[in-house]
Amino acid sequence: MRITHVIRGEEWLPSAPLHVLLYEAFGWRDTMPRFAHLALLLKPEGNGKLSKRDGDRLGFPVFPLRWVDPKTGEVSSGYRESGYLPEAVVNFVALLGWNPGNDHEEVMSMEELIRYFRIEKCSKAGAKFDYEKGKWFNHHYIQTSSNERLADLLRPSLEAAGITFDADYVARAIGLTKERAQTLLELEEQIAYFFTAPTAYDEKTVKKRWKEDSAAQLTELAALLATQSEDLPSEATEEVVKAWIEEKGYGLGAVMNCFRLALVGAAKGPHLFDITALLGRGETLQRLQRAIEVLG
Instruction: Name the residues annotated as catalytic.
Output: 52
β-bridge pairing 5-9 and 34-38: parallel
CA angle 200/205/208 to nearest 5° reads 135
Question: For residue 76, what are the β-bridge partners?
Answer: 67
For every residue of 177-224, DSSP letters joined together read HGGG-SSHHHHHHHTGGGTS--SS--HHHHHHH--TTHHHHHHHHHHH
Rounded distance, CA 76 to CA 206, Å? 39
The three state secondary structure string of 173-184 is HHHHHHHHCCCH
